[in-house]
Amino acid sequence: MTLLVIGTLAYDSIETAHASQSDVLGGSATYFSVTASYFASVRGGAVVGDDFGDEATSVFTRHGIDIQGLERVKGKTFRWRGEYDGDMNEARTLDTQLNVFQTFSPKIPPSYLASEFVFLGNIDPPLQLHVRQQFPRARLVACDTMNYWIKGKLEELKRTLAAVDLLVINEGEARMLSGSDNLKRAAREIRRLGPNIIVIKRGEYGACLFKDSTIFFAPGYPLEQVRDPTGAGDTFAGGFMGQLARSGDLSEAGLRRALVYGSVMASFAVEEFGLSRLLRLQSREIEERFQEFKTMTHFDV
């Protein structure tokens, strides 16, 4: 089935304790779409400036990602600069230049309108809602958000949440949004705002899924070395939504498998700098790591 993502394309400059790179291709829609392309037919909507090169564009076309919804405007592409401390748990933003993204208003090409799965990446909540409303018959509409919108545009964010089926959110941001430090109560409060399914990302501790009265936990994959956590959350969402679009299975069992695929893909993302590892993945590697998650969590009763 088809999967649409709306989000950012960016040039990132990243510093870790071990390395640094400037102006590498990044952004939520990039990590999401490249990841999801291993699972489903993906199309993306975003905006870039006239500095966005053919090399960057070819990343999408090589992965069979439909970029008819990619708008090119005069000016500079969105830029983010950040650094990670030794433990790689949290990015410190050093500089954000919205550039052409400042006036972004996603235009959905007619060919996108039949998308069955829609992911509203972490952008201004009214823009998310505007996109959402163009997909009244989608099978599942999910969104992401961040502390910036929770603090600055809470009422608008609530209107978006009231209109989506699923929210993917960091643990810290779930606490902030719900006003509760307790995971279970936080999920319950957020479900009251609208989304029926809540996926909470817990960094190296994995992720969990709240739906009806059930909870499902997947651990983080134990890597010996995390080289760059940039994009891990968007990669997680890309694996999760990609698997849902591939299987079309929205049952509890289908959602659980998708959550594990999200964790699988995020674990690849952080193994190397930027997109590197995601660009040369093989299906066999993905399925092997999925099996490893089964081995790491299975016990007989």
Please give the residue ranges that form the binding site for a second copy (CB under 8 A). Answer: 86-87, 181-185, 202, 204-206, 208, 214-219, 222-226, 253, 256-257, 259-260, 290-291, 294-301
When the beta carbons of 107 and 184 are compared against a second copy, the nearer one is 184
- Shortest Å, Cβ 207 to a second copy: 11
The closest alpha carbon to 44, from 79, 1, 9, belongs to 9
Q: How many C-beta neighbours within 10 Å does residue 50 have? A: 12
Q: Which is nearer to a second copy, 137 or 301 (CB)?
A: 301
Tell me how far, at minimum, the Cβ of 195 lies from a second copy, in Å: 18
3-class DSSP state of 236:
helix
**Which of 17, 31, 57 minimizes the C-alpha distance to 230?**
31
Given the complex with a second copy, which of 86 and 110 has the nearer CB atom? Answer: 86
Are the CB atoms for 163 and 129 separated by under 8 Å?
Answer: yes
Pick the closer one to a second copy by CB: 149 or 293.
293
Q: Which is nearer to a second copy, 29 or 232 (CB)?
A: 232
Residue 206 CB, nearest approach to a second copy (Å): 8
Contact 188, 194 (CB under 8 A): no
Residue 41 CB, nearest distance to a second copy (Å)?
A: 24
Q: How far apart are CA 210 and CA 186, in angstroms?
A: 10
Q: Which residues contact 74 (CB under 8 A, 6 or more apart)?
A: 49, 50, 100
Compare residues 155 and 225 and give the one whose CB is closer to a second copy.
Answer: 225
DSSP of 37-94: TTTSEEEEEEEE-TT--HHHHHHHHHTT-EEEEEEE-SSPPPEEEEEE-TT---EEEE
Cβ-based neighbours of 162, under 8 Å, separated by 6 or more: 193, 194
What is the closest distance, in whole angstroms, from the C-beta atom of residue 217 to a second copy in the complex?
4
* Shortest Å distance, C-beta 261 to a second copy: 10
Q: How far apart are CA 11 and CA 105, in angstroms?
A: 19
Cβ at position 87, least distance to a second copy in Å: 5
State the Cα–Cα distance between residues 254 and 247, nearest whole angstrom: 8
Closer residue to a second copy (CB): 156 or 216: 216
